[in-house]
Structure 1
């Protein structure tokens, strides 16, 4: 979850972790209970990642990148759709006929979003910001992920200042729920 380096290095490492979780899901079939555990871990990573981007990356894109408002709005819209899919997935078990369909939709959407960020947004941000600014953003993103929610909350605010105010409290409630249920624990 926390890798170090610039915001681009941090988020690219998150992208690689998510791709690895999708690959692990692909390696398990049918009603294998490990698929539910992997889906929970995937959800936790995606939600924390999205919250951190919404709190810190997209405001920086709006500020420093030409046409940054349009770029940030598109990325936030992608997050909203992913979060809706994650919420639907949250209620599914691996033997549910919707599980595989939701995972496939989620994978397609997330990987397209990742490609867009890595091929378009990150290069624009790297061109517009100093290495020091990118490193500071990386640290802010890492801190945000530590307190971010771990469950999808599609109705939660996705732009500052409200997302920065509400996410830590929601994250604390989610982590307490996760602790009591054992959700997200690797066996």
Structure 2
């Protein structure tokens, strides 16, 4: 959940962890119950990651990167699409035919989003901010992930101040539900 380093290093490490979970899903045969477990773990990580980006990364992109408003708006729209797929996936068991379609769609959308961030957004942010600002953003992102929700909430606000006000409360409820149900545990 928290890796250390500047915001780009932190988020890139998150990307690699989610890709590892996707690889585990792909390695298992359709209908295998462990696919659902890995999909839940990926969802937890993706939701935390997205919330932290929406709270801190995208406001910084708006402030520092030329054309940052349109970049941030596109990234937030990508998040909304992925969040809806995760919400739909939440209702499926691994042996449901819809599970395979949705998990495939999730992986494709996330992989495209990651590619875009790593090839375009991250270099633009690095070029327009100082190393100290990137380090400070990294710390803010790590802190945000600790209290972020772990389940998709497509109707929740995705920009400040609404997301910063409501996110920690939703996160607390989600973590309680996860603890009671065992969701996200290997």
TM-score range, shorter chain: over 0.9
Alignment of 1:158-173 (within 5 A): 158-173=158-173
Alignment of 1:59-98 (within 5 A): 59-98=59-98
TM-score by length of 2: 0.99
Deviations 1:84-120 (A, max 9, x none): 0000000000110111111111111100000000000
The aligned residue for residue 18 of structure 1 is 18
What SS is found at the alignment partner of 1:144?
helix
TM-score by length of 1: 0.99
What SS is found at the alignment partner of 1:179?
helix
The aligned residue for residue 121 of structure 2 is 121
Alignment of 1:12-51 (within 5 A): 12-51=12-51
What SS is found at the alignment partner of 1:92?
coil
**RMSD after superposition:** 0.5
Instruction: Please say if 1:185 is aligned against 2:179.
Output: no
Task: Provide the C-alpha distance between the structure 2 equivalents of 1:10 and 1:49, rounded to a whole number of angstroms.
Answer: 10
Task: Provide the C-alpha distance between the structure 2 equivalents of 1:35 and 1:119, rounded to a whole number of angstroms.
Answer: 29
Task: Provide the C-alpha distance between the structure 1 equivalents of 2:111 and 2:43, rounded to a whole number of angstroms.
Answer: 14
* Structure 2 gaps, min length 5: none
Q: What is the aligned length?
A: 186
Instruction: Please say if 1:175 is aligned against 2:175.
Output: yes
Deviations 1:47-104 (A, max 9, x none): 0000000000000000000000000000000000000000000000011011111111
Task: Provide the C-alpha distance between the structure 1 equivalents of 2:31 and 2:117, rounded to a whole number of angstroms.
Answer: 33
List 4+ stretches of structure 1 deviating above 3 A: none
What SS is found at the alignment partner of 1:31?
coil
Task: Provide the C-alpha distance between the structure 1 equivalents of 2:85 and 2:31, rounded to a whole number of angstroms.
Answer: 20
* Structure 1 gaps, min length 5: none
